[in-house]
Chain A
Amino acid sequence: MSVIALIERDFAVPDIRCAGCIAKLEQGLVRDKRIAAARVNFTAKRVHLSYLPDTGLPDLIGAFSNLGFEAHPIGTGADAGDAEAETSRELLRAVAVSGFAMMNIMLLSVSVWSGAAGATRDLFHWLSAAIALPTVAYAGRPFFRSAWRALRHGRTNMDVPISIGVALVCAISLYETATSGPHAYFDGAAMLLFFLLCGRWLDSVMRDRARGGVTALLRNMGTGAMVIGDDDRSRWVDATAIDPGMVMLVAAGERLAADGVVVGGQSQIDLSLLTGESAPQRVRHDDRVNAGTLNLDAPIRVRVTAAGADTAIADIARLMGEAAQGKSHYVRIADRAARLYAPAVHCLALMAFAGWMIAGTGWHQSLLIAAAVLIITCPCALGLAVPAAQIVAAGELMRAGVLIKDGSALERLAEVDRAFVDKTGTLTLGRPEAIDLDRFDIGVKSLILALSRTSRHPLSEALTRGLQASDVRPVEVTSVRETPGFGMEALWGDRVVKLGRPQSASVGDALATELSVDGRPVATIRFADRLRPDAAAAIDALGREGIDAMILSGDRAQAVAPVARELGLTAQTGMTPQDKLAAIGRQAALGHRVLMIGDGLNDGPALAAGHASMAPGSASDVGKNAADCIFLGDHMMPVVSAVRMARRTQAIVRQNFMLAIGYNAIAVPLAFLGFVTPLVAAIAMSGSSLIVVGNALRLKRTIR
């Protein structure tokens, strides 16, 4: 048997929800002979496939959809993500090593504290040193590296006092051990590293988890198009391999993978992700169409004029790069604290050393006391205070349907006092919904459902969704046929029923569809983009939190006005991405901190520039990548929950800082006077860390 090299690839499958889904996917996918193995990762909502090299991407996605799941291939070039996951694993290994060392040194230290003396004590100290020194060298690397980086650039951060403290304490303890002294602080050094590494690791776990959630949501990654070759046969081409000059066949309901010119067919194009405009645009032969827009109506052929980095999106990407630079100046609260803390700690230790030298205790005793001061003041609680609170908050928000990308996003979100909201797709659902379905009688409704449920056209799907929500049962129809660009046709008993483009011109350009029986129009259904169900309540709640909202829309004034009136908001309309960026810049210059909520490509730069930003789960990939937080589902209330949670988290973090300062106020004078033995240091350090973590856990009940 020859061995064929299998291709491995990950697919994001957002709908994995239960054990049944795992079984269905893992057992169902391998029934396809081309798929050798499938493994579900439930936490990341991903499926890892090994398949034969000649299997095309659409076939694999088809295999998923046969099982009733929507799958999105995850790009293979996820190097940045892998690097971050590796850092996180490295931190976990360091936590494990320092935890092991801490426990074993503590075992030895307890016997020293309970009275071991002479040769036994020396033996135990030597053993402690043998465990502690390699541990510090291994587990301390993240701190030493970061401290060295900061020092080289002439700055100081939290890691500088930590590194100096740990190194100094180890050196003095080694000296103590060699001279048979009574006090060695090896347990303190290992414990300090353990607690601090726990904080670091929590921070990176939080980032990993959110990133996993975001990748699962990125739909357009790894997309492509059906390309028609010279022999008029079509084949699937990955988005990265599309070249100008190719002709794409874009089906109704499909997003364009590249910019181009229509060379066949006519249709309506939904531009809402690109410009924010809600009314679809009619395109005919020779009209230009852009990547990222959605073909609504009928299949069209498009000759590619620009692909990849040359598309209109590239302009927006450039603007985003500029906008994001402003944000990188934000300094996280822990680092702000460290700016004050690090010099204070160093001064205290130096003063202790100098004071005892002047008092004439000799350099050995003075150095020992200075080390005790350093160990006691080392920001154990500080290093744990921020990440512990933030990971609890992020976990709670994730359960409420909000993904927070990192801790700094929570800090910035707590500070906002203005909100700019995009209209299409953010205040509204961003997809067509049938309006006034209730005015039809049940017979008409069940006939509509019978036809609409057999089609994947966006309007049909909207109808199916709307009707199934009100418990309509479809009638029996036979010989269903779909004519692209026109609609559905079927036999209902012996009568011909059609659901499709309205015959009369009275509906104009608005989205509408018509049901006719035997050629006679029975019902005309109009479609519109509706407001999110709790948009008004969410805007009100934001107001109560002291955040004034305003609409920034790329849409026309006539389309924005009804929404603005209903929500009681002021609005600016017809805005380009640059205009939105400028609006945020003006508010920032006035000293306001702006929360940008938007979904489209056109919101990308504004999302990157806002002090904090949120995007709905239905947003464009650019929007989701640029935003700090993503809220899932049709409701807007999670935006308010996120702001409340962020503020509550900040309050807890501040309390934790106060606790840490209070603890230092008691412990530092003791250390100064030379009362801090290794035993006292161990109790104080673990005690303060436990209090800080306990306080952070109070956040768990904030949302419910």
Chain B
Amino acid sequence: MSGLIFLIPIALGLGLLGLAAFFWSLRKGQFDDLDGAALRIFVEDEEGREA
């Protein structure tokens, strides 16, 4: 029983962490261009230009 005191908050905390990470990435527009993200790996960065 005493294990539950640690384990349940940990389980819920991890779940909440995932949920927060998803919301963060949604707000930052990570899902706006799914097909483009797959192609960008082929794009060469030009000299002196930040990616």
Residues of A within 8 A of B (CB): 18-20, 22-23, 26-27, 30, 40-44, 89, 92-93, 96-97, 100, 103-104, 107, 120, 123, 127, 131
- Whether A104 lies near B46 (C-beta < 8 A) is no
Q: Which of A41, A93, A96, A104 is in CB contact (< 8 Å) with B36?
A: A41
* CB atoms of B26 and A92 under 8 A apart: yes
The B interface is mostly helix, strand or loop, or mixed, namely helix
B30 to chain A, nearest CB (A): 12
CB neighbours (8 Å) of B44 from chain A are 23
Q: Which of B1-51 contact A (CB under 8 A)?
A: 1, 4, 8, 11-12, 15-16, 18-19, 22-23, 26, 32-36, 39-44, 46, 49
B residues at A contact (CB < 8 Å):
1, 4, 8, 11-12, 15-16, 18-19, 22-23, 26, 32-36, 39-44, 46, 49
Q: Are A104 and B11 in contact (CB under 8 A)?
A: yes
Asked whether B1 lies within 8 Å of A120 as measured between CB atoms, the reply is yes
Whole-angstrom CA separation of A211 from B42 in the bound complex: 28
Q: What CA separation (Å) do A93 and B26 show in the bound complex?
A: 9
Which residues of chain B are within 8 angstroms of A103 by Cβ–Cβ distance?
15
CA distance A107 to B34 in the complex (A): 32
In the complex, what's the smallest C-beta–C-beta distance from B44 to chain A, in angstroms?
7
Across the interface, which residues of B come within 8 angstroms of A92, CB to CB?
A: 26
Question: Measured between alpha carbons, how far is A62 from B17 in the docked complex, in Å?
Answer: 47
Shortest Cβ distance from A123 into B: residue: B4
A23 to B43: give the CA distance in the assembly, Å.
6
A93 lies within 8 A of B23 (CB): yes
Known: A23-B43, A42-B39. A127 touches B8 (CB 8 A): yes
- Inter-chain contacts of A23 with B (CB < 8 A): 42-44
B39 near A43 with CB under 8 A, answer: no
* A42-B8 contact given A27-B49, A92-B26, CB 8 Å threshold: no
- A30, B48: Cα distance in complex, Å: 13
User: Would A97 and B19 be within 8 Å (CB), given that A22-B36, A22-B40, A44-B33 are in contact?
Assistant: yes
Q: Which residue of chain B has the shortest Cβ distance to A24 in the bound complex?
A: B43
Contact assessment for A27 and B1 in the assembled complex, using a CB-CB cutoff below 8 Å = no
Contact assessment for A96 and B23 in the assembled complex, using a CB-CB cutoff below 8 Å: yes
A19 touching B16 in the complex, CB below 8 Å, given contacts A27-B49, A96-B22, A104-B11: no
A79 to chain B, nearest CB (A): 19
Complex CA gap A103/B19 in Å reads 12
| Neighbouring A residues of B16 by C-beta, 8 Å | 100
Q: Which of A18, A43, A104 contacts B33 (CB 8 A)?
A: A43
Q: Which of B4, B11, B36 is in CB contact (< 8 Å) with A42? A: B36
Residues of the A chain whose Cβ atoms lie less than 8 Å from the Cβ of B26: 89, 92-93, 96
In the bound complex, CA of A32 to CA of B29 (Å)? 26
Task: Looking at the assembled complex, report how far the CB atom of B8 sits from the nearest CB atom of chain A, in whole angstroms.
Answer: 7
